[in-house]
Amino acid sequence: MLLLLGVLLFPASQAGGGFVDINIYPYMSDVDTDNTLTLNVGTKITDRLSYFSLTNFRNKDDSGKFNSPHSIYTEQNLRWRFIDKSPFDLTLQMNFRTGHDNDRHRIGVRWRLSDTDALLTFFRYLNMSYSINFHAIQFDSESAHIQQIEHVFKFQLPYLDNRFYLAGFVDHTFNENLASGIPNNPIVAESQLGFRLIDRLYLVAEYRINQYRRTDVNNVALGFEYKHTW
């Protein structure tokens, strides 16, 4: 969290660009205890080192959005391109959440497919960025054999309108010891369709999948996003 505060107060203007966006969701279709507010931060610290974080705030009960105490889940990511002009990064992800003995940290390798020379033309044609992060080593109180593959994508949609975008992620976890009724290799996924209303303000719609829930696996959230870039 100290690293997040430092990035917010002292963005790396000399190293490159960055962004902060805040998403608030007044409406959710099925699960009122899902994310009601999300903060995303990303910046380029040096030519090879970058930082990204997301922080989700969730209602602890269904007494009303933004009224009940919140639980917090955050991912803090450092990504180091260890070879100049390479599409591969070494990654460190640190997960913190409300509760006790449930933090989780991972080391892995990210492949930025849309920055790979042989695939540049294809992804530029699609107006798409896409990366895969293989979290090979995990540090927490659970089995050391748990691994995760993280997919992250973003489409610009100029053939519809330059104000539209479609972005999201899919986290696919393997080898967890899970309760009955939960898939052996569950996924958590979000797809966000955004439309710029004015300047930095967007209308957003998210389709969410969380297979760690036995019921109400799917959810739709509608809200607003404010994005600042530098």
pLDDT at 87: 97
Distance CA 73, CA 55 (A): 6
Distance CA 199, CA 197 (A): 7
pLDDT at 143: 63
The answer to whether the CB of 27 falls within 8 A of the CB of 222 is: yes
Rounded to the nearest 5°, which phi and psi values hold at 91?
-130, 145
pLDDT at 12: 42
pLDDT at 192: 97
pLDDT at 2: 40
Written as six digits, the tokens of 219 are: 């959810």
Question: Digits of tens for pLDDT over the chain (230 positions)?
Answer: 444 444 444 444 445 689 999 999 999 999 888 999 999 999 999 999 999 999 999 876 655 555 555 789 999 999 999 999 999 999 999 999 888 878 889 999 999 999 999 999 999 999 999 999 999 998 877 766 789 999 999 999 988 888 999 999 999 999 888 888 888 899 999 999 999 999 999 999 999 999 998 889 999 999 999 999 98
Identify which of 149, 230, 155 has the alpha carbon closest to the alpha carbon of residue 189: 149
pLDDT at 9: 41
- Residue whose tokens read 């955050």: 74
- The pTM assigned to this predicted structure is 0.86
Contacts of 9 (CB under 8 A, 6+ apart): none
